Amino acid sequence: MKVGLIGLGNMGLPMAENMIKAGHELAIYNRTAAKAESLVKKGAKVVETPAQAAQEANLVFTILSNDKALEEVTMSQDGILAGLQKGGIHVSVSTISVDLSEKLTSAHAASGQHFVAATVLGRPDAAAAAALKVIVAGNKEAREHVWPLFEAIGQTIFTVGDEPYLSNVAKLGNNFLLVSMLEAVSEAVVMVEQYGMQAEQFLEVVNSLFASPVYKNYGNLIAKRDFDPAGFKLELGLKDVNLAIDAAKKVSAPLPLGELVKGHYEQGIENGWGHLDWSALLKTVEALKKDN
């Protein structure tokens, strides 16, 4: 299958590599063209605009970091909307706001195109192993057409509905649970360490109870203070907490724990830790202990 792909960050690059491994033909657009060199050697083609990426196959994936970046590559003069023909498909893997998901759905529909949201769960190592969990929502015919590409990047695929924003809601809900876990584990680790217990010893007990790869993997990062390089930056964690809070307000569903974590992430960024992994939330919790 021929596909345009926009965005070669920590997640986009390994996902592109797995699409090529699965036999798909890629036309790539990335602001930093040098990032595409390894893919060009494997047969990918570099194009000069998002519109050209869309034109190549009338199907384009976007893997971008925030609402602003996605809206720009979609709605600009040389954007995806301009490049896709009628019946074309835009698949967004990005974690974005519910509002933008609805806006892009309407914009593509007005042009006779399809917008599919396919958010993913997993860090860059899972992306490299094609072991992501993919949450798909959108027009049934469009998502089924793209299904082989989901299989190329993911180990488990969930369909959550015909409205694209449902994928974004599911992703934001999952990320809210993740940051809640990071807050809880950080607080617990700080407490037990004050009593002289090693974090690794404590987390061995925790993992026997929860038996969750999330607790195990993130607990290990927290215990070892292994925050750099980041698999997912703390500043992006704040972005996702804000998106979850905004989504909750849209339907009058308060997230008081989300507000707490938001404050801790803001403090972490103020302290200069925004580039670290989002599990570096521990550092803010430790700083609170010192302040008290």
Do the beta carbons of residue 155 and residue 204 sit within 8 Å?
Answer: no
User: How many Cβ atoms from other residues are within 10 Å of residue 91's Cβ?
Assistant: 25
Q: Beta-strand (E) ranges in the chain?
A: 2-6, 25-29, 45-46, 59-62, 89-92, 114-121, 132-137, 154-161
Cβ atoms of 113 and 164 closer than 8 Å: no
pLDDT along the chain (292 residues), means of 10: 97 98 97 91 96 96 97 97 98 98 98 98 96 98 98 98 98 98 97 97 96 94 97 96 98 97 98 98 91 68
Beta bridge partners of 6: 29, 62
Q: How many CA atoms lie within 13 A of 259 on its CB side?
A: 6
The kind and range of the H/E element at 188 are helix 165-194
In terms of pTM, does the model score above 0.85? yes
**pLDDT confidence of residue 34:** 87
The pLDDT of residue 51 is 98
Could you give all domains of the chain from N- to C-terminal order, each with its CATH number? 2-162 (3.40.50.720), 169-291 (1.10.1040.10)
Question: What is the SS3 assignment for 252?
Answer: coil
Cβ-based neighbour number of residue 129 at 10 Å: 12
Interatomic CA distance for residues 22 and 24, integer angstroms: 6
DSSP letters along 98-140, please?
Answer: HHHHHHHHHHHHHTT-EEEEEEEES-HHHHHTT-EEEEEES-H
In the prediction, which pLDDT does 292 show? 67
171 as an active site residue: the answer is yes
HSE on the CB side for 170, CA within 13 Å?
Answer: 21
Q: What is the spatial distance between Cα 115 and Cα 120, in angstroms, rounded to a whole number?
A: 16
Rg of the chain over CA atoms, in angstroms?
20
Q: Which residues neighbour 53 within 8 Å (Cβ) at sequence distance 6 or greater?
A: 4, 5, 6, 27, 28, 29, 47, 60, 80, 83
Pick the catalytic residue from 103, 171, 233, 262.
171
